[in-house]
Amino acid sequence: MAVRSVLKMGDPLLLQVAGPVTAFDTPELHALIADMFDTMTALDGAGIAAPQIGVSRRAVIFGIEKNPRYPQAEPVPTTVLINPVIEILTQETEDGWEGCLSVPGMRGVVSRATHLRYSGFDQYGKFFTREVRAFHARVVQHECDHLDGILYPMRIKDMRQFGYKDILFPEM
């Protein structure tokens, strides 16, 4: 399909609450998901949400095998998640560094719940649910935030832990 350009922070579309996907297993939805994968792969991302390529619909993809952007991260299965629902299963949170294709070159520390259940549909309309922890849970929260118009810098509590990746992590 195609590598699409990624909207950057400041674009008002990234602040919108995205609408639900209402039709599954359609050429349009398969094309959207294919473009999201092509774009994420080209930019070495861990995940991407449809609004980031300009489509205000509740669809995200994510997956990490061995990602050079996240060298210490545990693997996360390649997933298409549409119309997601998240249920937080713990009060416990953990601070961790995040980046985002819409905030290129930056990293910031965000506190996220460490244990949750998510459910939703794949691109064929098949329902699924998973209970996950740690980095997998972080990725899901980050991507699903995009569907509600939330970018990770809006969740940083200590702005001293926000900066340019090249300066923060010169060895990477």
Enumerate the active-site residues.
Answer: 143
Task: Give the Cα separation of 89 and 117 in Å (integer).
Answer: 7
What is the distance between the alpha carbons of residues 98 and 7, in angstroms, rounded to a whole number? 18
The beta-carbon contacts of 158-164 under 8 Å, at least 24 apart in sequence, are 158/109, 161/108, 161/109, 162/106, 162/107, 162/108, 162/109, 163/106, 163/107, 163/108, 164/105, 164/106, 164/107
What is the C-alpha to C-alpha distance for residues 13 and 56, in angstroms, rounded to an integer?
Answer: 7
In the complex, the smallest distance separating the C-beta of residue 102 from Ni ion, rounded to whole angstroms, is 6
In the complex with Ni ion, the residue whose CB is nearer, 32 or 100, is 100
- To the nearest whole angstrom, how small is the minimum distance from the Cβ of residue 142 to Ni ion? 6
Residue of minimal Cβ distance to Ni ion: 100
Q: Which is nearer to Ni ion, 54 or 127 (CB)?
A: 54
* Least CB distance to Ni ion at residue 47 (A): 7
Helix (H, G, I), strand (E, B) or coil at 129: strand
CB-wise, 81 or 100, nearer to Ni ion?
A: 100
Tell me the sheet residues that pair with 60.
49, 81
For the CB of residue 100, give the shortest distance to Ni ion in the complex, in Å. 3
Q: Of 104 and 127, which has the nearer Cβ to Ni ion?
A: 104
Residues interacting with Ni ion, by CB under 5 A?
A: 100
DSSP for 91-113, written as a single string: S-EEEEEE--TTSTTEEEEEEEE
